[in-house]
Copies of this chain bind each other. A is one copy, B any other.
């Protein structure tokens, strides 16, 4: 394994320490709960929004804390759900008078931790609701999941509820918006290589020199099929052929198109995929209203990419357009 790491057991804390040092004016780090939170949270004028999930998916979610997005993120170790007490303590610490919204990608371990934390927080008198995200069309169940998985489309739910929360929306309204965005969001991904968790020190699964995993999960779990490497055009077609009929997305629709890198794929290749997908959607009469190319939800150093489509309406587009300020930036 060649990674920039000291003790693999300290991979997550050292990363969080770096995030805090790079954003001293806006973010705080609470080591006890792997927590990164806004300096101005809790703010009683807005609902507090918290996401956990495992580490290894950065920028999700510790680098998407900030104005217009999350108030806090308390991840577990790499690819591990956060311990229940991280979520519980974070919820108590950041609770505002308007309440707390917990965002949870649909994985069994995450659901358990967040469900228990919600129950305990409610017993303490905190107003809490939970929203599950499950945008992955690849498989119904997986190693980590009952039901569909939550993957990169999670970004759009975070962005929409984050913007609405800044505008003062209450908890019921955020649940309505989040469920609506989740219901019109669909994703599918392809892995070109496996990823290497720092503590394991070797690839999480085996993939031959000319093999790819189609419909891969963000923890490297199997997808729809193991296939042969193919030209980018064919891979985009296979992803869109799974995504488009699922909602379905139809001629006349206006969409957000995201090409998300899984960690080891350079942005040049992501733009190649974006160009192909945009052309294909244009030929189907689908208009691209908003474009997203980059890393949103990764799997450590996995080479690969996912495509997400979101069906836009005026409300969703306005929320996606709203300003946000988070750690992930080049300026």
Contact = CB atoms under 8 A, between A and B. Distances in A.
A155 B279 CA distance: 31
A268 B56 contact: yes
Interface string A291-331: 11111101011010100000000000000000110011111
A200 interface: no
Given A5-B272, A19-B271, 15 more contacts: A2-B192, A3-B269, A4-B232, A4-B269, A6-B232, A15-B272, A16-B271, A18-B271, A22-B291, A23-B291, A55-B268, A63-B267, A264-B266, A266-B298, A293-B327
Interface string A98-139: 000000000000000000000000000000000000000000
Given A268-B58, A330-B59, A330-B296, A275 B17 contact: yes
Contact of A300 (B56, B268, B293): B268
A171 interface: no
Contacts of A327: 293
A32 interface: no
A141 B145 CA distance: 54
20 contacts: A2-B210, A2-B212, A5-B269, A11-B268, A14-B275, A15-B272, A17-B275, A18-B270, A18-B271, A18-B272, A18-B278, A19-B275, A21-B274, A21-B291, A58-B271, A264-B264, A264-B301, A267-B298, A294-B329, A328-B330
- Range class of the A interface residue count: 35 or more
Contacts of A233: 6
Nearest to A56: B268
Interface of A: 2-6, 11, 14-19, 21-23, 55-56, 58-59, 63, 155, 159, 192-193, 209-210, 212, 229, 231-233, 235, 263-276, 278-279, 288, 291-296, 298, 300-301, 303, 305, 323-324, 327-331
Q: Which 3 A-B pairs have the closest CB atoms?
A: A18-B275, A18-B271, A22-B291
Contact of A21 (B159, B212, B288): B288
Contact of A275 (B21, B155, B291): B21
A14 to B, nearest CB: 5
A239 to B, nearest CB: 11
Contacts of A193: 2
Nearest to A327: B293
Contacts of A209: 2
Contacts of A212: 2
Given A58-B267, A272-B18, A301-B264, A231 B6 contact: yes
Contact of A15 (B2, B23, B231, B271): B271
